[in-house]
Amino acid sequence: MNVNCRISTLAVIAALVAACGGSGSDKTATTGFLSLGVSDSPIHSADKVCITFNEIELKSASETTVITLDPPRKVNLLSFQGANAAPLLIDEEVTAGDYQWMRLGVDAVRGTNGGIGDTGGDGCDGEASYIVMEDSSVYNLYVPSGANTGLKLVSGFTVPANGSPDFTAEFDLARSITAPPGLSPDVVLKPVIRLVNNVEVGTLTGVVATELATAEACEPSVYVFDDGVTPNPIGIDDDPGSTETDPNDTVATAMVNEQMNNDGSVEWNYTIGFMLPGNYEAAFTCDGETFEPADGKPALIEVNGTAEVNFEVPMPL
């Protein structure tokens, strides 16, 4: 073979390798890796809130992606409070791009056997979705239109090419669980959920004076509101199908829990995770209707930061 022929052959081979994406080619990533967890702002009246998630649906401008959870993921939301979350997806490969909404598919249909088979432990071994109250009574959880729409989160989000975004769906159970007349023995799970990017959030924590937390008939909680609003109490919603929000509603809530310190002393504290940065007002409450202080205390949340707001016994006038 002469030299010119050999050079031409090598050139053809090099061109074919480049065209096929061989070594040295510049491939453009078209997918990312999505992680998703669920967490909750708890309620005092329940021992367990068990949700069965069976699929995750993602909607972009060009396509709809359905990720089936097999087996379905059963989560006791009361076990994942503060800055803790239960994973639903871990590095799930999906098409990169902008998404318009996400839907959490749940097994929560009216009149079904939610809770049948629950053995009374901390886990969720009963059927479908259900709530266990403090008196051990069990109720089926029903999501209006849940069989069709599930829990739809309309917050847009982005999956970067070759990136690994990590999100948390934060339930506000105090506003999500309702028991309107006429639905017994079902209890309604109304979707009051925030979708947050875990790299864009901070945490609020603090200590509550023992005298406040242990007052007679007190169910101690801390409510957080947007800065400058008049706080709305959390009450029973007689319209379980409504998805309207009020700017004066709580942004987040937390139970105040008793903690034993290493020196034997007792402290009452709270933690609220997955909060978007900004200025807020935090207030202590025993009943969800009256607040201490009445206009709240300022709380500045910064990305990856931990803000501290404590509640002391008010000084006598």
Q: Of 150, 179, 200, which marks where a domain is finished?
A: 200
Q: Are the CB atoms for 240 and 183 separated by under 8 Å?
A: yes
Q: How far apart are CA 292 and CA 309, in angstroms?
A: 12
Residue 237 and residue 311 in one domain: yes
Q: Is residue 213 predicted with pLDDT exceeding 90?
A: yes
Percentage, residues of the chain above pLDDT 70? 82
Q: Is residue 11 predicted with pLDDT exceeding 60?
A: no
Residue with tokens 């023992």: 210
Residue 84 and residue 113 in one domain: yes
Residue 18 lies in a domain: no
Residue 85 lies in a domain: yes
Lowest mean pLDDT among 75-84, 167-176, 182-191, 278-287: 182-191
Residue 11 lies in a domain: no
Lowest mean pLDDT among 37-46, 155-164, 241-250, 260-269: 241-250
Q: Of 200, 216, 233, which marks where a domain is finished?
A: 200
What is the number of other CB atoms lying within 10 angstroms of the CB of residue 242?
10
More confident residue, 36 or 142: 36
Residue 3 lies in a domain: no
Q: How confident is the model at residue 22 (pLDDT cuts 50, 70, 90)?
A: very low
More confident residue, 93 or 179: 93
More confident residue, 242 or 131: 131
pTM above 0.85, yes or no: no
Residue 116 and residue 250 in one domain: no
Number of domains, the chain: 2
Question: What tens digit of pLDDT does each residue of 155-193 get?
Answer: 889 999 999 999 999 888 877 887 766 677 788 888 778
Query: Mean per-residue pLDDT for 20-44?
Result: 72
Q: How far apart are CA 232 and CA 290, in angstroms?
A: 10
Tokens of 94: 């999906």
Query: Mean per-residue pLDDT for 254-263?
Result: 89
β-partners of residue 41 are 172
Residue 230 and residue 295 in one domain: yes
**Which H or E element spans position 6?**
helix 3-19
Phi, psi of 104 (to 5 degrees): -95, 110
SS3 content of the chain, % helix, strand, coil (to 5): 10, 45, 45
Q: Given this model, what pLDDT does residue 154 score?
A: 80
Q: Is residue 312 predicted with pLDDT exceeding 90?
A: yes
Phi, psi of 48 (to 5 degrees): -145, 140
Q: How confident is the model at residue 265 (pLDDT cuts 50, 70, 90)?
A: confident
Q: Given this model, what pLDDT does residue 178 score?
A: 78
Residue 141 and residue 33 in one domain: yes
Residue 177 and residue 219 in one domain: no
Q: Given this model, what pLDDT does residue 315 score?
A: 63
Query: Mean per-residue pLDDT for 99-113?
Result: 90
More confident residue, 3 or 176: 176
Q: Given this model, what pLDDT does residue 130 score?
A: 94
Query: Mean per-residue pLDDT for 95-121?
Result: 91
Q: How far apart are CA 152 and CA 106, in angstroms?
A: 10
Query: Mean per-residue pLDDT for 196-220?
Result: 94
Q: Average pLDDT over the chain, rounded to whole? A: 83
Residue 219 and residue 305 in one domain: yes
Residue 33 and residue 118 in one domain: yes
Amino acid (1-letter code) at residue 109:
V
More confident residue, 238 or 305: 305
β-pairing, 166-172 vs 193-197, is: antiparallel
CATH label of the domain that carries residue 310:
2.60.40.1120
Q: Of 184, 200, 216, which marks where a domain is finished?
A: 200
Helix (H, G, I), strand (E, B) or coil at 269: strand
In terms of residue numbers, what domain contains 312? 201-317
